[in-house]
């Protein structure tokens, strides 16, 4: 079975296209040798260093194919567009490349090459089939070639077809496409280039660069305090040999003076250590706070630059958990564990050095168990790493449950699903329990083992020491000092093991935070965008197409809206009205075609600057936590109270605000005063009006107010839409009475446009929607 | 525009002779700007007039309006925090205000709201608002007690 499938694959590869051309100009097929491929490979390596770091099987085959296509160009021929295909005719993965030049269309794949002269070709036809698509090359009614690719390439395919059409038209006239345009078309490939993130903990170092001074101070203090802490055993050694032993053997007089000296020295050493440690702890904790605060801010700032598309894919709870919990783990790591670690390493090195300088034999004996410890650390490290990453993920999941069900608590209660939500929470909590339990099991074995090894090390020192003392190779004092040093040494090892755990936890956390920071804004902002200032408000849609993933939502929409015109956008639910508005606001970029405002392509103007011209009332109004006045002034923080009140009056919000205990100072939003749906809507209308927008966008702005209030808002709006371009969506068609033009959107295309009266006469979709509405109202 | 007091209410006679009866004054920004923006509202909550700056009124009208406002106004200003005790639900505050000493209960931490800077509003269980215009100007002892809750 397996063999047969393979042979099929090979057959398909050799003969990727079942279409036989009956005409004379069948594609010229040329096989090229494996050798030429490997030569190309070398050329590629020389050209692009970054590719060298890739494992060979990840290398982009399109590059190799492109090299081959380039080698086929005749003088005067220039590539104007290219498209990678990733399937063969029998839908096995197989890389191919279609290249459009100013003369020909070329097709390259491993072991095959075809080309067609442009003037012989008519059309490239795209056939979408869910997860895959086919591209048919047409010569008149006849298909001369087929390509297959996965739906992920659809955007590029559409762009390529556009280029093909243009180039074909130009070639017919003997012209070329401009060279500059190439870049834009190739950009999807540029974005797909894999990015190699450095080790997360090393990247953390990068974040602490602004506090280099603080870092060095922390380090210096650490060295000093570690050194000070080693004075104690040293003094003890002399105390035993020079005072206690002579005292016991009673061969000398009691040297009170010396006892005082040693006691004083020990006290001094302890005090010095205490002070230095205090300073170290504070300096390092501050450093940790600086670094994590910078990290939190950087992450949040980066989040704000990401487009709506990113947020619609992300769980809020997960983002909260990354910015909150994960940065906290990192802070703990830097402030507590990292400094401890530095201390530990220093202590270990110092003690080892001191021990060797005093008595190499004893030192060697004492450090015997060290290799076992090193191996143990490595073993634990590997096991913990996965465990902590899993724990972080489990936390995210738990946070997601909370951010999901707490705002939705009314739905939970209304459908009496408390028990189910409790169960959902319990499951996620169990997951945290399990992962932590797993970590603890590793852990609980590790710590006592280190303790045991400490005891063992001591035992070795005592026995070797006893032997040495007996053979008069060392003194009791030295042995005592040694025991103290060894204890210190191993207690540090023990602490170091704790470091292993927290380093792994911090690495897992840092990785999750950097994952946000590494997301490239998916709306490539053109570098040379223009500021446009105040718009007149002309909007033009030119063959606009848009897809969400593989689903086409807007399919070729042409519309020109004059400055100051009011457009009523109607159509069945899911027709793409909100999507169209998202495009006008440039929350998403069009997949194909363009939107022009005052003659400027939206992609070429500064987004922030452009959005200052917009007043937006969304289908689901959102209020931030804060006073009503703050919410109304959200788009214009410097607004005066008079302006705020005027906007609220215009939106018919003033009177209900007067009824609230704190008037305009009432807190609204998540944990503030509960407002009704209509009240929230009116506040968001006031918010849009306050910015005095050139383009006003109302998406079902009055859907949740009663008809009486709606009429009032309408009256106010009628007055306000004057002088500004307005796009209003409404299901209650009466709302759009005042619209200059009604546009009926159906299935992503405009099916009708005209005034209310002309559309009623036309008896199309609009008349049907209207009739249905009247029927409902009368029922 | 003339204001008259009729019993507990105000009556407004506009320049063109239109009368609005049974009005009561409402502050639009009672917490952030109590000295400006007062609306006169009728029984049904409809606004008859809105005065931006009270100082534009002549003295007699001003007194009338101030009296009407004072009758309704009740936002004690906390001068000193004597004690805050944890209760079964929320906590009890024992404070000294510009209107004397009192004890009130607040239910959740969300009942303490910061209005920008150091201005705090505390809403008790009954809905009464207490104001701390500037936390920093409280005495040390009060600030320390407050710190644990906000
Ligand atoms: N982020 C998204 N990802 C995938 N599909 C989406 C996304 N947003 C919307 N859609 C789909 O696009 C289609 C058009 O949605 P849109 O919100 O534009 O409809 P609408 O015309 O505003 O409908 P309504 O009148 O109900 O508000 C819908 O079928 C919807 O499922
Ligand atoms: Mg919608």
What confidence tens digit (pLDDT) does each residue in A207-216 have? 778 888 888 8
Residue with tokens 């390509």: A147
A574 CA distance to ligand 1 centroid (A)? 5
A745 CA distance to ligand 2 centroid (A)? 12
pLDDT of residue A648: 92
Res A146 pLDDT > 60:
yes
pLDDT of residue A672: 59
pLDDT of residue A628: 92
Res A609 pLDDT > 60:
yes
Task: Assess A641–B contact: CB distance below 8 Å, yes or no.
Answer: yes
Res A491 pLDDT > 80:
no
Q: How confident is the model at residue A750 (pLDDT cuts 50, 70, 90)?
A: very high
Residue with tokens 């593989």: A550
DSSP codes, A678-703: HHHHHHHHHHHHHT--SEEEEESTTT
pLDDT of residue A414: 82
pLDDT of residue B111: 80
pLDDT of residue A55: 42
Give the percent of chain A with pLDDT over 90: 10
Neighbour count for residue A143 (Cβ, 10 Å): 16
pLDDT digits (tens, 9 = 90+) for A112-125: 888 999 888 888 88
- H/E stretch holding A249 reads helix A245-249
Q: How far apart are alpha carbons A155 and A88 in whole angstroms? A: 19
Which strands, in side-by-side order, build the sheet including A539-548? A551-561, A539-548, A592-597, A600-601
Ligand index nearest the alpha carbon of residue A618: 2
Number of continuous H segments (helices) and E segments (strands) in chain B:
2, 11
Closest to A552 measured CA to CA, from A213, A95, A126, A154: A154
Say if residues A690 and B58 touch (Cβ distance below 8 Å): no
Q: What is the average pLDDT across B2-10?
A: 82
Using CA positions, which residue lies closest to atom 18 of ligand 1?
Answer: A576
Q: Is the CB of A553 under 6 A from ligand 1?
A: yes
Q: How far apart are alpha carbons A291 and A510 in whole angstroms? A: 12
pLDDT of residue A367: 77
Say if residues A337 and A498 touch (Cβ distance below 8 Å): yes
B28 contacts A641? CB cut-off 8 A: yes
A728 CA distance to ligand 2 centroid (A)? 11
Buried-exposed string A391-411: b where 16+ CB fall within 10 A, e elsewhere: bbbbbbbbbbbebebeeeeee
B50 contacts A641? CB cut-off 8 A: no
Using CA positions, which residue lies closest to atom 16 of ligand 1?
Answer: A576
Closest to A588 measured CA to CA, from A523, A685, A538, A517: A523
A522, A577, A621: residue to mutate for ligand 1 pocket, most atoms within 8 A of CB: A577
A654 contacts B29? CB cut-off 8 A: no
Q: How confident is the model at residue A595 (pLDDT cuts 50, 70, 90)?
A: very high
Q: How confident is the model at residue A673 (pLDDT cuts 50, 70, 90)?
A: low
Lowest mean pLDDT of A308-317, A541-550, B41-50, name the range.
A308-317
ipTM of the complex: 0.82
Q: How confident is the model at residue A528 (pLDDT cuts 50, 70, 90)?
A: low
Cβ-nearest to B30 among A655, A663, A667? A663
Q: Near ion ligand 2, which residues have CB within 5 Å?
A: A 578
pLDDT of residue A46: 33
pLDDT digits (tens, 9 = 90+) for A6-29: 333 333 333 334 343 333 343 444
Cβ-nearest to B29 among A654, A664, A671? A664
**Tally of residues, chain A:** 779
pLDDT digits (tens, 9 = 90+) for A255-287: 677 778 888 888 888 898 889 888 888 888 888
Which residues on A lie below 8 Å from B45 (Cβ)?
655, 658-659
Q: Which residues contact A515 (CB under 8 A, 6 or more apart)?
A: A322
Our CA dihedral for B83, B84, B87, B91, rounded to 10 degrees, sits at 140
Which two three-digit tokens encode residue A434? 């399990």
Which two three-digit tokens encode residue A312? 């619609």
Lowest mean pLDDT of A176-180, A358-362, A390-394, A600-604, name the range.
A176-180
pLDDT digits (tens, 9 = 90+) for A33-78: 333 333 333 333 333 333 333 444 445 677 888 888 888 888 888 8
Strand ranges (E), A446-549: 539-548
Give the percent of chain A with pLDDT over 70: 85
Task: Assess A285–B contact: CB distance below 8 Å, yes or no.
Answer: no
pLDDT digits (tens, 9 = 90+) for B16-48: 888 888 888 888 988 888 888 999 998 888 888
Q: Where are the domains of chain B?
A: 2-72, 78-149
B129 contacts A642? CB cut-off 8 A: no
Ligand index nearest the alpha carbon of residue A579: 1
- H/E stretch holding A372 reads helix A370-405
A314 CA distance to ligand 2 centroid (A)? 21
pLDDT of residue A59: 53
Which two three-digit tokens encode residue A774? 């009247």
- H/E stretch holding B11 reads strand B9-13
Q: What is the average pLDDT across A138-153?
A: 85
A578, A583, A591: residue to mutate for ligand 1 pocket, most atoms within 8 A of CB: A578
Residue A296 falls in which region: left (phi positive, over 0), alpha (psi -120 to 50) or beta: alpha
DSSP codes, A714-766: HHHHHHHHTTSEEEEE-SSGGGGTT-SEEEEEETTEEEEEE-HHHHHHHTSHH
Res A218 pLDDT > 70:
yes
B31 contacts A665? CB cut-off 8 A: yes
Mean pLDDT of chain A: 78
Mutate one of A632, A642, A662, A679 to test the B interface: name it (highest B CB count within 10 A).
A662
Q: How far apart are alpha carbons A104 and A123 in whole angstroms? A: 13
| SS3 of residue A56 by DSSP | helix
Residue with tokens 């099916």: A751
Say if residues A569 and A751 touch (Cβ distance below 8 Å): no
A635 CA distance to ligand 2 centroid (A)? 22
For residue A229, give how far its alpha carbon lies from the nearest alpha carbon of chain B (Å): 38
Which residues on A lie below 8 Å from B34 (Cβ)?
none
> pTM (2 decimals)?
0.68
Q: Is A555 exposed, middle or buried (0-12, 13-18, 19+ CB in 10 A)?
A: middle
B144-148: long-range pairs with CB below 8 Å, 24+: B145/B81, B145/B83, B145/B84, B146/B81, B146/B84, B148/B84
pLDDT digits (tens, 9 = 90+) for A709-730: 777 777 767 767 777 899 999 8
Task: Assess A655–B contact: CB distance below 8 Å, yes or no.
Answer: yes
Task: Assess A667–B contact: CB distance below 8 Å, yes or no.
Answer: yes
Q: What is the average pLDDT across A446-456?
A: 80
Q: How far apart are alpha carbons A604 and A606 in whole angstroms? A: 7
pLDDT of residue A561: 93
Q: How far apart are alpha carbons A727 and A710 in whole angstroms? A: 17
pLDDT digits (tens, 9 = 90+) for A230-241: 787 788 877 777
Which residues on A lie below 8 Å from B28 (Cβ)?
641, 645, 657-658, 663-664
Q: What is the average pLDDT across A147-154?
A: 82
Q: How far apart are alpha carbons A481 and A240 in whole angstroms? A: 9
Q: Which residues contact A312 (CB under 8 A, 6 or more apart)?
A: none
Q: What is the average pLDDT across A639-651?
A: 91
| SS3 of residue A98 by DSSP | strand
Whole-angstrom CA distances from A105 to A27, A175, A210, A233 are: 11, 16, 54, 83
pLDDT of residue A422: 92
pLDDT of residue A142: 86
B110 contacts A664? CB cut-off 8 A: no
- CB contact residues (below 8 A), chain A span 614-633, against chain B: 627, 629
Q: How far apart are alpha carbons A325 and A509 in whole angstroms? A: 8
SS (H, E, C) A616-646: EECCCCCCCCEEHHHHHHHHCCCCCHHHHHH
Q: How far apart are alpha carbons A469 and A694 in whole angstroms? A: 95
Lowest mean pLDDT of A97-106, A473-482, B91-100, B107-116, name the range.
B107-116
Closest to B38 measured CA to CA, from B27, B49, B23, B48: B27
More confident residue, A549 or A38: A549
pLDDT of residue A175: 55
**Tally of residues, chain B:** 150
Distance of CA A527 to the CA centre of its chain: 21
Q: How confident is the model at residue A538 (pLDDT cuts 50, 70, 90)?
A: very high
Domains of chain A: 2-173 (2.30.29.30), 200-387+457-517 (1.20.1560.10), 539-778 (3.40.50.300)
For residue A645, give how far its alpha carbon lies from the nearest alpha carbon of chain B (Å): 9
Which two three-digit tokens encode residue A188? 């999807």
Q: How far apart are alpha carbons B61 and B56 in whole angstroms? A: 10
């Amino acid at each position: 079975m397996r063999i047969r499938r393979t042979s099929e694959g090979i057959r398909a590869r050799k003969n990727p296209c079942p279409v036989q051309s009956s005409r004379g100009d069948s594609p010229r097929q040329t096989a090229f040798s494996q050798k030429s491929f490997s030569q190309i490979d070398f050329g590629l390596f020389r050209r692009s260093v970054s590719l060298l770091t890739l494992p060979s099987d990840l290398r982009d085959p399109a590059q190799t194919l492109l090299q081959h296509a380039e080698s086929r160009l005749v003088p005067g021929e220039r590539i104007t567009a290219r498209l990678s295909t990733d399937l063969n005719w029998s839908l096995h993965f197989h890389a191919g490349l279609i290249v459009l030049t100013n003369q020909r269309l070329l097709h390259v794949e491993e072991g095959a090459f075809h080309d067609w002269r442009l003037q012989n070709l008519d059309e490239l036809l795209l056939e979408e089939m869910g997860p895959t698509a086919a591209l048919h090359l047409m010569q008149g009614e006849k298909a001369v070639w087929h390509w297959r690719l996965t739906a992920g390439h659809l955007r590029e395919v559409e762009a390529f077809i556009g280029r093909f059409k243009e180039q074909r038209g130009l070639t017919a006239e003997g012209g070329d496409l401009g060279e500059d345009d190439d870049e834009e078309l190739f950009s999807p490939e540029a974005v797909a280039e894999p990015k190699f993130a450095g080790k997360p903990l090393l990247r953390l170092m990068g974040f602490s660069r602004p506090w280099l001074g603080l870092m060095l101070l922390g380090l210096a203090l650490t060295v000093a305090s570690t050194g000070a802490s080693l004075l104690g055993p040293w003094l003890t050694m002399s105390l035993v040999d020079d005072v206690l032993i002579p005292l016991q053997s009673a061969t000398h007089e009691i040297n009170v003076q010396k006892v005082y000296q040693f006691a004083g020295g020990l006290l001094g050493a302890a005090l010095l250590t205490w002070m230095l440690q205090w300073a170290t702890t504070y300096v390092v904790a501050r450093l940790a706070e600086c670094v994590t605060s910078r990290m939190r801010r950087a992450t949040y700032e980066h989040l704000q630059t990401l487009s709506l598309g990113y947020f619609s894919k992300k769980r809020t709870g997960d983002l909260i958990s990354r910015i909150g919990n994960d940065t906290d783990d990192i802070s703990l790591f830097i402030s507590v564990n990292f400094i401890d670690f530095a201390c530990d390493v220093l202590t270990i090195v110092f003690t080892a050095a001191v021990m060797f300088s005093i008595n190499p034999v004893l030192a060697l004996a004492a450090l015997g168990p060290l290799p076992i410890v090193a191996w143990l650390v490595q073993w634990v490290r590997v096991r913990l790493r996965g465990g902590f990453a899993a724990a972080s993920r489990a936390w995210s999941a738990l946070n997601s449950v909370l951010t999901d069900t707490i705002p939705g608590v009314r739905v939970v209660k209304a459908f009496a699903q408390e028990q189910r939500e409790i169960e959902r929470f319990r499951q996620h909590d169990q997951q945290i329990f399990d992962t932590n339990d797993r970590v603890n099991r590793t852990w609980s074995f590790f710590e006592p083992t280190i303790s045991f090894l400490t005891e063992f090390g001591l035992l070795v020192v005592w026995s070797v020491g006893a032997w040495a003392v007996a053979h008069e190779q060392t003194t009791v004092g030295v042995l005592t000092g040694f025991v103290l040093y060894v204890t210190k040494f191993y207690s540090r090892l023990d602490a170091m093991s704790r470091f292993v755990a927290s380093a792994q936890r911090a690495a897992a956390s840092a990785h999750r935070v950097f994952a946000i920071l590494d997301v490239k804004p998916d709306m490539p902002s053109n570098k040379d965008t223009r500021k446009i200032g105040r718009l007149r408000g002309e909007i033009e849609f030119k063959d606009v197409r848009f897809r969400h993933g593989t689903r086409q939502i807007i399919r070729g929409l042409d519309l020109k809206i004059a400055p100051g015109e009011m457009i009523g956008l109607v159509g069945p639910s899911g027709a793409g009205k909100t999507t169209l508005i998202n495009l006008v606001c440039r929350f998403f970029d069009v997949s194909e075609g363009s939107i022009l405002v005052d003659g400027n392509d939206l992609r070429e103007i500064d987004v922030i600057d452009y959005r200052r011209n917009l007043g937006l009332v969304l289908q689901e109004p959102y209020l931030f936590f804060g006073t009503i006045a703050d919410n109304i002034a959200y788009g214009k923080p410097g607004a005066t109270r008079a302006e705020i009140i005027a906007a609220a009056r215009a939106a018919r919000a003033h009177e209900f605000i007067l009824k609230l205990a704190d008037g305009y100072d009432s807190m609204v939003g998540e944990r503030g005063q509960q407002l009704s749906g209509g009240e929230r809507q009116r506040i968001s209308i006031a918010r849009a009006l306050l910015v005095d927008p050139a383009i006003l966008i109302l998406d079902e702005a009055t859907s949740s107010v009663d008809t009486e209030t709606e009429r009032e808002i309408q009256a106010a709006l009628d007055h306000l839409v004057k002088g500004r371009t307005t796009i209003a969506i409404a299901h209650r068609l009466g709302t759009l009475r005042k619209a200059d033009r009604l546009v009926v959107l159906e299935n992503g295309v405009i099916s009708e446009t005209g005034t209310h009266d002309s559309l009623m006469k036309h008896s199309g979709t609009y008349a049907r929607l209207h009739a249905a509405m009247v029927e409902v109202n009368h029922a | 525009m003339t204001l008259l007091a009729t019993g507990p209410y105000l009556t407004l006679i506009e320049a063109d002779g239109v009368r609005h009866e049974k009005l009561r004054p409402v502050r639009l920004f009672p917490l952030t700007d109590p000295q400006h923006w007062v609306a006169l509202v009728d029984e049904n909550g409809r606004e008859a007039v809105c005065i931006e700056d009270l100082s534009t009124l002549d003295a007699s009208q001003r007194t009338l309006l101030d009296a009407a406002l004072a009758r309704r106004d009740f936002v004690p200003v906390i001068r000193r925090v004597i004690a805050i005790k944890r209760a079964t639900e929320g906590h009890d505050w024992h404070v000294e205000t510009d209107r004397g000493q009192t004890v009130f209960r607040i239910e959740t931490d969300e009942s303490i709201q910061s209005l920008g800077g150091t201005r705090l509003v505390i809403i008790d269980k009954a809905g009464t608002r207490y104001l701390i215009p500037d936390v920093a100007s409280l005495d040390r002892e009060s600030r320390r007690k407050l710190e644990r809750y906000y």
